[in-house]
């Protein structure tokens, strides 16, 4: 009997300690929120991203495997502003997980944490894929800080036992990011006013923070692939204005960007905006790389 009690009490201890150690299951759409969440949550959370760093986040295949991934999630981090509007709603329904539905405690729309840009009356008739404003806000490190703060608060309310650890990790993260921002500012200062053309309007927040100037976009509207005639018009329009760069992500075709570069004298830069693309392994790497590549 005594042995049985000892065995049972040992088993109970194992169960209880595994409950106490169970990491909060965090799922994010884009990997950048996951990278920031991991900086805050450390070993108290486990993180999966639904979007690959090299994938266009507007267009993701709503595969059943992603629904399964969402089924047990305790916190879902989304970009919002319709970035995932074409694929996430179907996954959320298919996940059969009441905790992470829109508006719930387990659903954090990170766009509610930042000051949005390009919010105007939606014009879906023309195929604009930014009807809710521009959703590409995470490359501005000021927003990175706001996102980290929002994630810290939400983790603390979902897992109050580790709230002090989350607060301490946020303090480390914000100190490092603020220190980096001073360095980035110094690098960017001599390049203030650099004129850039973009492929997709995914750079407006970064450009705003960096003090660059937007000279145009290859896509006539967000999500509408450029035609050669539009690019030719753009080349005529910016001729002699000293556009320094044409910037795009690797998941967009480069054919027309190369033509634009050749005819306008701008340099083509294919740059990652999501953690894991290229050589980036952290949120700091993403901004570091953008600043370094665009201040050479
Ligand atoms: Zn977009």
Ligand 1 centroid distance, CA of 14 (Å):
48
**pLDDT of amino acid 20:** 54
Going from the C-alpha of 104 to that of each of 30, 76, 77, the distances in angstroms are: 19, 10, 12
DSSP 44: G
**pLDDT of amino acid 127:** 76
Ligand 1 centroid distance, CA of 158 (Å):
31
Going from the C-alpha of 15 to that of each of 4, 11, 19, 21, 90, the distances in angstroms are: 16, 6, 6, 10, 35
Ligand 1 centroid distance, CA of 80 (Å):
11
The ranges of the chain annotated as CATH 3.40.50.1980 are: 22-182, 188-293
pTM given for the model: 0.91
Please give the CATH architecture assigned to the domain spanning 22-182: 3-Layer(aba) Sandwich (3.40)
**pLDDT of amino acid 132:** 86
**pLDDT of amino acid 123:** 64
Please give the CATH architecture assigned to the domain spanning 188-293: 3-Layer(aba) Sandwich (3.40)
Asked whether the beta carbons of 33 and 110 are under 8 A apart, the reply is yes
Ligand 1 centroid distance, CA of 10 (Å):
54
* Range 196-209 average pLDDT: 98
Ligand 1 centroid distance, CA of 59 (Å):
10
Ligand 1 centroid distance, CA of 139 (Å):
13
Tell me: the pLDDT tens digits for 3-34?
666 655 655 555 555 555 689 999 999 999 99
């Amino acid at each position: 009997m005594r042995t049985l009690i000892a065995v049972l009490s040992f088993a109970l201890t194992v169960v209880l300690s595994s409950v106490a150690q169970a990491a909060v299951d965090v799922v994010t759409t884009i990997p950048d929120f996951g990278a920031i969440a991991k900086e805050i949550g450390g070993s108290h959370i486990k993180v999966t991203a639904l979007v690959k760093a090299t994938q266009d986040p507007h267009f993701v295949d709503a595969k059943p495997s992603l629904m399964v991934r969402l089924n047990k999630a305790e916190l879902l981090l989304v970009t919002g502003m319709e970035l995932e509007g074409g694929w996430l709603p179907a996954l959320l329904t298919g996940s059969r997980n009441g905790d992470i539905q829109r508006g719930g405690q387990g659903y954090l729309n990170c766009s509610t944490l930042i000051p949005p840009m390009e919010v105007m009356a939606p014009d879906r008739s023309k195929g604009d894929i930014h009807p809710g404003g521009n959703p590409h806000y995470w490359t501005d490190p000021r927003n990175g800080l706001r996102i980290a703060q929002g994630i810290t608060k939400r983790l603390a309310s979902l897992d109050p036992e580790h709230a002090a650890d989350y607060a301490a990790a946020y303090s480390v993260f914000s100190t490092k990011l603020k220190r980096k921002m001073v360095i980035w500012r110094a690098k960017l200062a001599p390049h203030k006013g650099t004129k850039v053309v973009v492929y997709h309007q995914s750079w407006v927040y970064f450009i705003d923070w960096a003090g660059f100037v937007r000279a145009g976009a290859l896509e006539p509207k967000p999500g509408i692939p450029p035609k050669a005639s539009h690019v030719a018009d753009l080349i005529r329009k910016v001729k002699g204005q000293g556009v320094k760069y044409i910037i795009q992500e690797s998941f967009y075709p480069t054919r027309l960007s190369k033509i634009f570069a050749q005819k306008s004298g701008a340099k083509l830069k294919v740059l990652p905006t999501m953690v894991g693309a290229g050589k980036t392994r952290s949120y700091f790497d993403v901004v570091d790389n953008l600043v370094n590549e665009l201040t050479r």
